[in-house]
Amino acid sequence: MSKTDDDDELEIGPETKANDIIRSYPETTDYFVDLGLCGCGFDGKFGKMPMMKPLQEIAREKNIPIEDLLNEIKRIIED
């Protein structure tokens, strides 16, 4: 488990944004890329940038149960 700063651990839940997780736990980057979230995109008329979405929105869009998404992210962090 790596954390990029010494502040309090990031609490990961349905409202946590993918970008915040990647910033705190870079080892999760490949998983989010595998989900098709490359960080490309624009805020505004094109919608929210993929990495700025909360996990519950990502889970809904990718048709993944939120608990499965959370468990996989936590597994990656703990390895």
Give the mean pLDDT of 25-37: 91
Q: What would the mean pLDDT of 70-75 be, rounded to a whole number?
A: 98
Average pLDDT, the chain: 83
Q: How confident is the model at residue 6 (pLDDT cuts 50, 70, 90)?
A: very low
Angle among Cα 55, 44, 24 to the nearest 5 degrees reads 35
CA–CA separation, 8 vs 46, rounded Å?
Answer: 34
Answer for the pair 58, 18: CB distance below 8 angstroms, yes or no: yes
| pTM for the predicted model, two decimal places | 0.77
- Which phi and psi angles does 17 have, rounded to 5°? -85, 145
